[in-house]
Amino acid sequence: MNLTLGFIAFFIAIVIPGILFRRFFFFGEFSKQFNTKDPVLHSIFFSIIPGIVMQIICVTFYKLSFGFESSYLDVFTIFRDITSDGTNGTQDSTKNFIENDILVFFIYSVCVFSFSAFVGWTCSRFIRARK
């Protein structure tokens, strides 16, 4: 099995926030719903939707709060340049991202992970309180 950079980026951006959401959502007697005995593809499959929702919420909040200046086309261009073999050359937006914005991306990723865990925990407590 080959792990490509595209799969790793997809896993970090979408699957990990979904897994964190699910992990913090199930607690107490329901913690058995989230266990390590589940097949990996089962866990990944059920983590994609919450991960996408978390990314949409965080990107929207980031865009409104900090003025996200890049277009979505730039995001796809950067992703394509990073995951390609380098034969097509690197765009200016990718060079600018690597030189200036990579630290901001890591901080954003940590914030998304924290937000996912917090929302999972809050949703579970809210549902339990409302019965």
Closest CA to 69 of 47, 87, 34, 96: 96
Residue 37 predicted with pLDDT over 50: yes
Of the two residues 32 and 118, the one the predictor is more confident about is 118
Percent of the chain with pLDDT over 70: 66
Paired tokens of 2: 């080959």
Residue 97 predicted with pLDDT over 90: no
> Would the pTM count as exceeding 0.85?
no
pLDDT band at 118 (very low <50, low <70, confident <90, very high): very high
Domain ranges of the chain: 5-68+108-130
pLDDT tens digits, residue range 9-27?
777 788 888 888 888 887 7
